[in-house]
Structure 1
Amino acid sequence: MPYNKNNQQSFQAAQQGATQAFDAYDNIVKDRADYGHQLKHLTEEVNEAYQQINNALENASETQRERLEQYQRDLEQIVRDVNQSE
């Protein structure tokens, strides 16, 4: 039972981290004076989400693994979009 509990908790943490990164990206406004601050916040959220996803992948079920890998692809797209806009 501890394995399943840790498995679910790590997945939920990764899911929450990815959601926070997606929200930070959705709320970023390039033309605002605090764009630099927003970009720094986004970078922190993306890095944290990557760490949480990598931790969750260590003991994820197959279904969770597929979702976590999708989160990784989505985060990679955010990074590409931000890098292209600079």
Structure 2
Amino acid sequence: MKNNLLTYRNKIDTIDDKLIKILSERFKIVKTIGKLKNVNNLSIQDNIRWKEILNSKLSKADSLKLSKHFITKLFSLIQNHSIEIQKKVK
């Protein structure tokens, strides 16, 4: 039992490390997008794009039997952090 538990915990740790790496990659791209928006004098927030993203993620979550509430909270956090990153870009 203890070995099985350790095996699964190690798998979760590996997945968590991948999530952090992917988020780092995502936020680097967000920074680049922020620079492009700044140069082109575009608004940081694009509510139409945000609705498209969220609807797409909720549809994907539904097909994978994930909680829509959780996915909404997760992507709202990611979106809000992305906005903060873009606000700091010059």
Determine which structure has more spread, i.e. the larger CA radius of gyration.
2
Q: Same fold (TM over 0.5)?
A: no
TM-score for the superposition, normalised by structure 1: 0.38
